[in-house]
Chains A and B, each alone.
Chain A
């Protein structure tokens, strides 16, 4: 990987020291152990947060803190650690708010950290995974779904997809970007429902 930071292009802030120095091995660990907790974390935040508009940002904050802390020392029990970090953020936000709604103040003591057993997220096996992906794919908007299908199922190149759909490569790009972003949200932010019998 190339890492050249020679100029402060476009006036962007320079990266903080250490921020870029993660290894692919660390990133793989993070993707495997932490990212799948997002759905459970969102449910936890929904129960414990008054401001629904901020859920995503709190979740993002929590992941940043975990990402940084884990570079120094990886937590032994990942799930309780992630939830503890999220809890602190929620508590912090409540303390810093000028006006504390009464219900929120009450919530503060009852914020409970989820159990320690590994989440059901891990036990997803290939068959369930494929069903889940199929369901996620079906939820994409029509043209977007078509582009993703041609790319992921038929294995066509962007140019071939453009020709097949009669649109420009740029539009294919836009469909795939929307598809990737939406699939990531469905796969990571939503609960799996594996325990429910079909």
Chain B
């Protein structure tokens, strides 16, 4: 890199900025950075405060751009399990994946229709013919009713956010195990995990029905309501809207934690990543963290833990262990 500076003036701002960007990319993005390069860069930075400021500015912007990594959708491990998210009218591609997926499905009588799946870390949006939108989160399987019965879906596992176009004559129905959610013009989030089902209602109204050996239970959901159903219990609580917004931050690739324990945050991360965060020490597990972090980068959490609490991070194949 040669210098055009003959005078003691730093030169026009635009020129310096371009020069700074050029240094930055050489420094941050090339793999062959040497000690000599560093000497040369230091000399350039020391030459004028304007150089230093321009470098700090472009460096800060380039680091901020790292957040864009949150938009990455990792490829699923098995090709044949790849998300087949297309407009529902396409049948052939979806039919191909059925065989493979059935193995992981619960042994209920399989309902008809087409199956849509995402892998760990995946995220896809499905648009139905009526304009209703369903966003599938990580590791999710959703079945959509066939022609004429598109407004009936089965959440086999995982989590999905529904934005439903209301139709008085054809209510939209979500089945999840023995539970049923009937929308009355609605935005809502459904998460099915182990034996638990969680429904968060953002807008509109929905009817919830649950049938099990003990009989049937019902609840009407209003905006802000969060329903939690297990095999034995059913509860509905009203939550602050902030909490619901946080809960939906996966839609933009982020996980938001407010006073979450480290072990909760790790469990959340492990839903999104093949590489699992492991915490065994109960003292570490209870440490509190706050922040919005990219869901597909478990190191974003472990690095923060390392920095904030002075913990040790141990990398192993398939896992990251946090210890003292």
Contact = CB atoms under 8 A, between A and B. Distances in A.
The answer on A and B forming one complex is yes
Contacts of A181: 17-18, 20-21, 58
A73 interface: no
A83 interface: no
A14 to B, nearest CB: 8
Interface stretch (A57-65, A84-92, A95-103, A106-114): A57-65
Given A27-B56, A181-B17, A2 B38 contact: yes
Contacts of A60: 10, 13, 16, 50, 53-54
Contact of B57 (A2, A152, A184): A184
B86 to A, nearest CB: 23
Contact of B47 (A15, A30, A188): A15
B39 A183 contact: no
A185 interface: yes
The B interface is mostly helix, strand or loop, or mixed, namely helix
Nearest to B30: A158
B21 A184 contact: yes
Nearest to B24: A180
B64 A133 contact: yes
Contacts of B6: 11
B61 A184 contact: yes
B194 to A, nearest CB: 29
Interface in A1-45: 1-5, 9-13, 15, 19-20, 22, 27, 30-31, 35, 38
A100 to B, nearest CB: 24
B131 to A, nearest CB: 20
Contacts, number: 159
Given A153-B71, A155-B72, A177-B25, A183 B65 contact: yes
Contacts of A188: 57, 60-61
B308 interface: no
B281 to A, nearest CB: 28
B256 A126 contact: yes
B266 to A, nearest CB: 19
Band of interface residues on A: 35 or more
Contacts of B38: 1-2
B252 interface: yes
A30 B299 CA distance: 27
Contact of A12 (B3, B49, B256): B3
Contact of A2 (B20, B42, B67): B42
B56 A13 contact: no
A130 B49 contact: no
A56 B13 contact: yes
A110 B48 CA distance: 33
B249 interface: yes
B213 interface: no
Interface in B72-99: 72
18 contacts: A10-B2, A20-B45, A27-B56, A31-B60, A35-B60, A60-B50, A64-B49, A126-B67, A130-B70, A133-B68, A134-B68, A155-B69, A155-B72, A176-B25, A181-B20, A183-B65, A184-B21, A187-B64
Interface of B: 2-3, 5-6, 8, 10, 12-14, 16-18, 20-22, 24-26, 29-31, 35, 38-39, 42-43, 45-50, 52-54, 56-62, 64-72, 249, 252-254, 256, 291-292
